[in-house]
A and B are shown apart, each in its own frame.
Chain A
Amino acid sequence: MILLRIIEGLRAHSGTLLKAGWGMLALFVVLDALPFLVDKSEAHTAVERLPGFWAFYGLAASFLLLIFAKTAGRLGIQQGKDKCDE
């Protein structure tokens, strides 16, 4: 199955894939800054007009959510076992 071969190939080159991902993100940020490609008149707030704003937002959101979730877990949301079922 072709799909399986693609997946195995990607898994075998995960480091390269990650670098390609960063490269692609950089490319999209550049494209986002080109007014003839991306029409920023649709943006609703000033910060959205900054080139690559949503890339920054996505990365920051990932870290923020993870930190918040892990902190909530440590504060008691996560426990070793459910004492309710004992």
Chain B
Amino acid sequence: MNEFWLHPSLLLLLGAAVLPLLPQALRKFWLLAVPAGVLVLVLNMPMGEFGSVRFLDWTLEFGRVDAVSRVFAIIMALMCLLGTLYALKVENTGEHVAAWTYVAGSLGVIFAGDLLVLFLFWELMALSSVFLIWARRTPESLAAGFRYLLVHTAGGVILLAGIVLYGAGQGGDFSFNAFSPADPSLAVWLILVGFLLNAAVPPLHAWLPDAYPAATFSGSVFLSAFTTKTAVYALCRGFAGFEILIVLGVIMALYGVVYAFLTNDPRRLLSYHIVSQVGFMVAGVGIGTAMAINGTIAHAFAHILYKGLLFMGAGTVLFMTGKSKFTELGGLYAKMPWTMFFTLVGGLSISAFPFFSGFISKSMTIGAGYEAHHYWAVYLLMLASVGTFLSIGLKLIYFIWFGERRAGAETWNKAADPGWNMTAAMGATAFLCFFMGIFPASLYQLLPYAVDYQPYTSYHLSETLLLLLSAALGFALLRKKLTPNEAVTLDLDRFYRVGGRALVRFTQAPLQAVDRFWAALHEKGGILPLMRSALALAVFDNRVIDGAVDGAAHGVRGLGWRLRLLQRGSLQQNLTFVFAAVAVMLLMFFLFA
């Protein structure tokens, strides 16, 4: 180490390890103190390279602090604090431990200076985050968690294969720096696939809308922030300027929007919008200019906050009412006004409404697309923006809070604003969304490249207001067509879910029949003849072998008995018998030799 440097992941992991041992009275303090300490640590972290450890033939680097890693670390630490505040009253300590371990994994990836350390923390994220899904303890969450784990394990194997091949090609140098877009090797493509899976890029995205809605109400707040945005960090670091990412980003942005129109579950809708919003970031990485990377990072920062806020709002509805379908909600504004207000702020932020965070972040990526002359991509991203406003700013808000009341009497009676901690978490997050929208410099000063961008121009304001107002009027005209129904949406996870069921059926029916036949054949053709032959051999051994041996022994004993009678008690007589016997033996020897 160059100097003393405390890794924020270590602080979180130690905090998580101590948490279950603390008395109940101290836990809430600890739950706020540790993430607050991590945030302070990250905010005051000096730039440089720290935490170098010699391991076998490699030097592992745990602490690369630069402008890119610092801004991501700040938002991750901030979200950890807000998420923990939101989940403060969750009694399941294991869920807090899982959440902090998950954040520790994310921070570990962000500060990793080489691909080996990155992989270590990458897998820590996957293994810990699954417990946020399982903690809901429903059959659906259990199954979704296993699918999540299997998909991420497969992604991890691909990533590891890429890292090993890359390291071998570099003579054992695993440093994690920008890969060249010109003629990338197989190893680089494999690493890219590993990153794209965590960024939920179609067709590798289906794990996200499958798993996130299945998590606990507070677990999904954490999940919404860390996995995909850590992958965006990794893409920013390694794959800036890979133009295929522009195409994939645009596909993501539109794919998520289309599915969001169809889904009946608010948290599933938000999950599809993670896919869509991360699409803007992936496209920004693909554009690869300084402004595009700034835009990607700014949008990741803003997105973590407003998407966390939206998941908090939807999670609060689930927590308070027990319902997670639009068709079981509606008209709740009168019962949960603060939650409605904060969700509305999240909806306006993601829709890039002026004076909210999305307005100052998303437009930077769009502007970078214009500057790089990717007009087709920009127009399609603007199309996705309209879809975002329609499905979150309008559909989600309308059908939970303002639309026809579809909630039953029990749901209605249970609906209320949540406890102080959840309200405070939503309030603080909403404030940050608004603050960044009003004071863009507060975000722009954190970005890695010098910012020469002004979001509040007359043209940008006019463009945005026309786009959003016309989309709102479009929603008013199309509202009935957008009314959610009980139908479920099928996505690409269907392939491995159906494939998995087919595998189970195959193992239960034909494979098991083959196994039974083989067992019967083995018993009748192998075991039974073997037992019979063993029995026959036992009889032969008993009667023939043992008989012969026993008979010989019996004869020897009789001979011994007779020889004993030759003893006369007189030395002379005994010597006479001995000499006579020796003489007979000598005679026989000479006669027959």
> Using a CB–CB distance below 8 Å, which chain A residues touch chain B?
1, 3-4, 7, 11, 18, 21-22, 24-25, 28-29, 31-32, 37-45, 48, 52-59, 61-66, 68-70, 72-73, 76-82, 84-85
Closest A residue to B501 using CB positions: A84
Q: Which A residues lie within 8 Å of B382 (CB)?
A: 57, 61
Other contacts beyond A25-B466, A25-B470, A44-B370: 6, CB < 8 A: A4-B337, A7-B402, A22-B473, A61-B387, A65-B257, A84-B498
Name B387's contact: one of A54, A65, A78 (CB within 8 Å): A65
B419 at the interface (CB under 8 A from A): no
Binary CB contact string for chain B from 42 to 59 against chain A (1 if under 8 A, 0 otherwise): 000000000000000000
Please judge, given known A-B contacts A43-B459, A84-B501, A85-B140, whether A62 and B489 are in contact too, CB under 8 Å: no
* Cα(A52)–Cα(B466), bound, Å: 7
Is the CB–CB distance between A25 and B487 below 8 Å?
Answer: no
Is the CB–CB distance between A39 and B457 below 8 Å?
Answer: yes
* Cα(A80)–Cα(B501), bound, Å: 19
Is the CB–CB distance between A21 and B473 below 8 Å?
Answer: yes
A-B contact pairs, 16 of them (CB 8 A): A1-B337, A24-B469, A25-B473, A28-B462, A38-B458, A38-B459, A44-B370, A55-B467, A58-B470, A64-B383, A65-B257, A66-B261, A66-B390, A69-B259, A78-B489, A78-B490
B568 at the interface (CB under 8 A from A): no
Shortest Cβ gap from A14 to chain B (Å): 9
Q: Which A residues lie within 8 Å of B468 (CB)?
A: 58
Chain B, interface size category, equals 35 or more
B412 at the interface (CB under 8 A from A): no
Residue with the greatest number of chain B CB neighbours at <10 A, chosen from A22, A57, A62, A76: A62
Is the CB–CB distance between A76 and B463 below 8 Å?
Answer: no
Shortest Cβ gap from A62 to chain B (Å): 3
Binary CB contact string for chain B from 369 to 398 against chain A (1 if under 8 A, 0 otherwise): 010000100100011001100100000000
Please judge, given known A-B contacts A58-B468, A77-B490, whether A3 and B383 are in contact too, CB under 8 Å: no
Shortest Cβ gap from B369 to chain A (Å): 9
B472 at the interface (CB under 8 A from A): yes
Is the CB–CB distance between A78 and B473 below 8 Å?
Answer: no
Name B469's contact: one of A1, A55, A69, A77 (CB within 8 Å): A55
Please judge, given known A-B contacts A28-B465, A62-B390, whether A55 and B402 are in contact too, CB under 8 Å: no
Q: Which B residues lie within 8 Å of A1 (CB)?
A: 337
* Cα(A21)–Cα(B140), bound, Å: 43
Is the CB–CB distance between B476 and A21 below 8 Å?
Answer: yes
* Cα(A48)–Cα(B478), bound, Å: 26
Binary CB contact string for chain B from 82 to 106 against chain A (1 if under 8 A, 0 otherwise): 0000000000000000000000000
B475 at the interface (CB under 8 A from A): yes
* Cα(A68)–Cα(B466), bound, Å: 22
Q: Which B residues lie within 8 Å of A62 (CB)?
A: 386, 390, 470-471, 474-475, 477-478
Shortest Cβ gap from A77 to chain B (Å): 6
Shortest Cβ gap from B117 to chain A (Å): 38
Shortest Cβ gap from A69 to chain B (Å): 4
* The 6 residue pairs across chains A and B that have the minimum distance between CB atoms: A62-B474, A58-B470, A69-B261, A61-B386, A54-B466, A42-B459
B482 at the interface (CB under 8 A from A): yes
Please judge, given known A-B contacts A38-B459, A78-B490, A84-B501, whether A65 and B470 are in contact too, CB under 8 Å: no
Shortest Cβ gap from B396 to chain A (Å): 15
Q: Which B residues lie within 8 Å of A41 (CB)?
A: 459
Q: Which A residues lie within 8 Å of B390 (CB)?
A: 62, 65-66
Is the CB–CB distance between B467 and A73 below 8 Å?
Answer: no
B505 at the interface (CB under 8 A from A): no
Is the CB–CB distance between B370 and A38 below 8 Å?
Answer: no
B341 at the interface (CB under 8 A from A): yes
Please judge, given known A-B contacts A44-B370, A73-B487, A82-B490, whether A59 and B470 are in contact too, CB under 8 Å: yes
* Cα(A70)–Cα(B475), bound, Å: 14
Please judge, given known A-B contacts A73-B487, A77-B262, whether A54 and B383 are in contact too, CB under 8 Å: no
What's the dominant secondary structure at chain B's contact region?
helix
Within 8 A of A (CB), among B248-264: 257-259, 261-262
B414 at the interface (CB under 8 A from A): no
Is the CB–CB distance between B402 and A11 below 8 Å?
Answer: yes
Residue with the greatest number of chain B CB neighbours at <10 A, chosen from A32, A77, A80: A77
Is the CB–CB distance between B337 and A32 below 8 Å?
Answer: no
Q: Which A residues lie within 8 Å of B137 (CB)?
A: none
* Cα(A1)–Cα(B487), bound, Å: 37
Is the CB–CB distance between B466 and A32 below 8 Å?
Answer: yes
Name B470's contact: one of A37, A55, A77, A81 (CB within 8 Å): A55
Binary CB contact string for chain B from 308 to 341 against chain A (1 if under 8 A, 0 otherwise): 0000000000000000000000000110010001
Is the CB–CB distance between B337 and A58 below 8 Å?
Answer: no
Residue with the greatest number of chain A CB neighbours at <10 A, chosen from B259, B333, B469, B497: B469
Closest A residue to B394 using CB positions: A62
Is the CB–CB distance between B334 and A32 below 8 Å?
Answer: no
Name A58's contact: one of B375, B471, B482, B490 (CB within 8 Å): B471
Shortest Cβ gap from B483 to chain A (Å): 12
Is the CB–CB distance between B488 and A79 below 8 Å?
Answer: yes
Shortest Cβ gap from A18 to chain B (Å): 5
Is the CB–CB distance between A25 and B469 below 8 Å?
Answer: yes
Closest B residue to A81 using CB positions: B488
Is the CB–CB distance between A63 and B478 below 8 Å?
Answer: yes
Is the CB–CB distance between A63 and B474 below 8 Å?
Answer: yes
Is the CB–CB distance between A66 and B478 below 8 Å?
Answer: yes
Shortest Cβ gap from B331 to chain A (Å): 9
B557 at the interface (CB under 8 A from A): no
B543 at the interface (CB under 8 A from A): no
Q: Which B residues lie within 8 Å of A76 (CB)?
A: 490
B481 at the interface (CB under 8 A from A): yes
Closest B residue to A31 using CB positions: B462
Name B494's contact: one of A44, A57, A84 (CB within 8 Å): A84
Is the CB–CB distance between A56 and B470 below 8 Å?
Answer: yes
Shortest Cβ gap from B368 to chain A (Å): 11
Shortest Cβ gap from A79 to chain B (Å): 6
* Cα(A40)–Cα(B481), bound, Å: 35
